[in-house]
Structure 1
């Protein structure tokens, strides 16, 4: 069965200081281990805050479609599991954005 090949969008994302700050907050929540624990749990986490911050980051970067790969979890260019070719490009784009955000967070901490 023929499959339509996705053509690259060639988008240029603007990484603003706001996006860098939002990503820094996400990393802080993850490093505390609070990204999977709800605020109502005992002990309380920051799951809702994590989701809201991740959503704000995606908006700040122009990644507004719910099917787009999460920048937060795109850790390398190879997802390490089978992914349809149509999704692999989006994953790699997210990974490249993540690398740039990590670099900018590190520079801002100096």
Structure 2
């Protein structure tokens, strides 16, 4: 069953390049432009919620594991924090443009910190 669209109308100005990307994406998926844009919005909102949830998990495990970390650095809490951190980074990489990733990697290189490679 199709969801009723009675939440309101969103008027949005985009650049010609953005409009071309949106139209191309809609054509590739075979969806009308409005449905395609709604899908992008839903995807972005879902991804944002996942990032917030992962951040919460990381903070919870960091606070729980802080006391035990000194005694045993290889705890399960540490593994969960590391896993959630990497997952968060991978989700964020889906949101950013390649040029932003390159700029971040350049900043990391200046700090002598290796970036996490994509699988």
> Aligning the two structures, in what range does the TM-score lie when normalised by the shorter sequence?
0.3 to 0.5
Q: What's the TM-score, normalizing by structure 1? A: 0.37
TM-score after normalising by structure 2: 0.34
Larger RCO (alpha carbons 8 Å, 6+ apart) = 1
Higher relative helix content: 2
The higher radius of gyration belongs to 2
